[in-house]
Structure 1
Amino acid sequence: MTPDLLFSSLWNDYIQRLCPSAAQVQQLLKEDEALINDHIALRTFNVAPLGIDTLAKPFIDLGYQACGDYLFESKKLVAKHFEHPDPNQPKVFISELKVEECSAELQTIVAKLVKQLDTNKLKGHEFLFGGRLWDLSFVDFQVLAKESEYASWLAAHGYGANHFTVSVNQLNKFDEVQSVNDYLRDEGFTINSAGGEVKGSPEVLLEQSSTMADKVAVTFTEGVEMIPGGFYEFAKRYVMANGEIYTGFVAASADKIFESTDS
C-alpha cells in the first residue's frame, strides 16, 4: 500500500458515495497539471475501538506523523492533523466527538452502533473508505441530528472522506479563494457562508472555503432518505516568517467548515 493508492481509494468512494459533485468541480478547476489535494478530513467517535488513533494508524504505517492538536468546544470535538515527509502528499485531518460530554440519549445510540462493530474490519486500511459498519434507523439519525450534526453525519455515513481540498496555491486561473467561490457560484454551486464565505485570512496564514454538502441517498432500517453527504473544500496557504509555507490548520476556520454538512 502506498499513499497514492490509499488516497485514490478514498477519492473513488468520496465521489461515488458522498460527494458526486466533486468530480464536476474538479473538471471545472482542472488545468494542465493534476489538482493538488491539500488535505482530507475524517470523522469518528472517541469510543473504543474507534477514535483518532484507530483512523490514524493506516496513515502512520505509511509514514505520516502527528503535527497539530485542535479543540472545538461548542461542538464537543477534538482533532489532530497528520503530515507525510513528502510535502506533496495530502495532509490528513481527523476529528472525534467527545461522546461522554453529550446527552445520555446520544450516548445510548452511539453505544448501540458501536456494539454492532466487527472489530476485524478495523484491521488494515479498507475501513477508512468502507462506509457504515452498523445499521441505523432514521429515527435515531434524527435524534442525533437535533443534538449534533456531526454525530448524525458519522452515524449515517460511517467511514469515508468528509471532504477533499483543492490547493488554490497551484491554480493559475485563480489566485484568491473568493475568486474560486465566485466562479463555482456562477456554475450553480452553493458556497458555505457560515462565518463568511472565506474563513481565515493572510494574517492566520490560511484561507479556506467550501461548497455545501451534496444531498445523497442513504439506506436506513426504515428505507432510503436523502441527507447531506460530503463537500469540496478550497484552501490557500501563506508563507511564514521563516520562508516556509504554513501547513497547519486554524480552529476558528475549521469550526465553520464543519457546518458545510448542516441540513
Structure 2
Amino acid sequence: MTPDVLFQHLWNDYIQRLCPSAEKVHQLLKEDEALINDHIALRTFNVEPLGIATLAQPFLDVGYQPCGDYVFESKKLVAKHYEHPDPKQPKVFISELKVEECSAELQAIVAKLVEQLDTSKLKGHEFLYGGRLWDLSFDDFQALAQESEYASWLAAHGYGANHFTVSVNQLKAFDEVVEVNNHLRQAGFTINEFGGEVKGTPEVLLEQSSTMADKVTVQFSQGSEIIPGGFYEFAKRYPMSNGELYPGFVAASADKIFESTNG
C-alpha cells in the first residue's frame, strides 16, 4: 500500500458518495498539471475502538507522522494532523467528538451505533472510505443534529473524507482565495460564509475557504433522506521565517470550516 493508492480510494468514495460536485470543481480549476490536494479531513467519535488513533493507523502504516494538536471547545472536538515525509503527499486532519461531554441522549445514541460494530472491519484501511458501519434511524439522526451537527453527519455518513482541499498556491489563474471563491460562485457554487468567506489571514500563515456541502441521498432505517454530504476546501499557505510554507492548521479557521456541513 502506498499513500497514492490510499488517497485514490478515498477520492473515489468522496466523489461518488459524499461530494459528487467535486468533479465539477476539478474541471473549473484544472490547469496543465494535476491539482495538488493540500489535505483531507476525517471525523470520528472518541469512543473505543473508534478514536483518532484508529483512523490514523492506516496513514502511519504508509509513513505519516503525527504533528499538530487542536482543540475546539465549543464543538467539543479535539483533532490532530499528520504529515508525510514526502511534502507532495496531502496532510491528514482527523478530529473526534468528546462524547462524554455531550448529553445523555447523544451518548446513548452513539453507544447504540458502536454496539453494532464488527471490530474486525477496523483492520487494514478499507474502513476509512467504507461509509457507515452501523444502521441509523432518521429519528436518531435528527436528535443528534439538534445537539451536534458533527455527530449527526458522522452517524449518517460513517467514514470517508469530509473534504479534499485544493492548494491555491499551485494555481496559475488565481493568486487569492477570494478569486477562487468568485470563480466558483459564477459557476453556481455556494461558498461557506460563516466567519467570513475567507478564514485566516497572511499573518497566521494560512487562508482557507470552502463550498457548502453537497446535498446527498442517505439510506436510514425508515427510508432515504437528503442531507448535507461533503464539501470542497481551498487553502493558501504563506512562508514561515525559514522560507518554507506553513504546514499546520489554524484552529479558529478550522472551527468555521466545520460549518460547511450545516444544513
TM tier relative to shorter chain:
over 0.9
Aligned to 1:63: 63
Write the distance in 2 (CA, Å) between the matches of 1:228 and 1:130. 18
- Offset of 1:42 from its aligned partner? 0.1
Letter in 2 for 1:19: C
Letter in 1 for 2:126: E
- What is the identity, as a one-letter code, of the residue corresponding to 2:107? Q
Distance 2:130 2:237 in 1: 31
Secondary structure of 2:75's counterpart equals coil
Matched position secondary structure for 1:248: coil
Q: Distance in 2 between matches of 1:78 and 1:49?
A: 16
Q: State the alpha-carbon separation in 1 of the partners of residues 48 and 140 from structure 2.
A: 21
Matched with 1:146 is 146
Q: Tell me how far apart the structure 2 counterparts of residues 253 and 176 of structure 1 sit (CA, whole Å).
A: 17
The aligned runs of 1:1-263 (5 Å cut-off) are 1-263=1-263
So what's the TM-score if we normalise by structure 1?
1.00
How far 1:260 moved relative to its partner? 0.0
Q: Amino acid of the residue matched to residue 142 of structure 1?
A: Q
Q: Which amino acid aligns with 1:45?
A: F
> Percent identity of the aligned residues?
83
Post-superposition shift, 1:44? 0.1
Divergent runs of 4+, >4 A: none
AA aligned opposite 2:93: F
- Gapped regions of structure 2 (runs ≥ 5): none
Q: Tell me the amino acid that sits aligned with residue 159 of structure 2.
A: Y
- What amino acid sits opposite 1:13 in the alignment? D
Unaligned runs of 5+ in 1: none
Q: Which amino acid aligns with 2:71?
A: L
Deviation (angstroms), 1:46? 0.1
Distance 2:34 2:143 in 1: 41
For 1:145 and 1:184, the matched residues in 2 are separated by 28
Aligned pairs, number:
263
TM-superposition CA deviations, 1:149-194 (whole Å, max 9, x none) = 0000000000000000000000000010000000000100000000
Across the aligned residues of Structure 1 and Structure 2, the Cα RMSD in angstroms comes to: 0.3
Q: C-alpha separation between the residues in 2 aligned to 1:44 and 1:23?
A: 25
Counterpart amino acid of residue 147 in structure 2 = E
Q: In 2, distance between residues paired with 1:38 and 1:195?
A: 21
The code of the aligned residue for 1:236 comes to K
CA deviations 1:72-125 (Å, max 9, x no partner) are: 000000000000000000000000000000000000000000000000000000
Distance in 2 of aligned mates of 1:111 and 1:128: 20
Q: Provide the rounded CA distance (Å) in 2 between the counterparts of 1:104 and 1:151.
A: 14
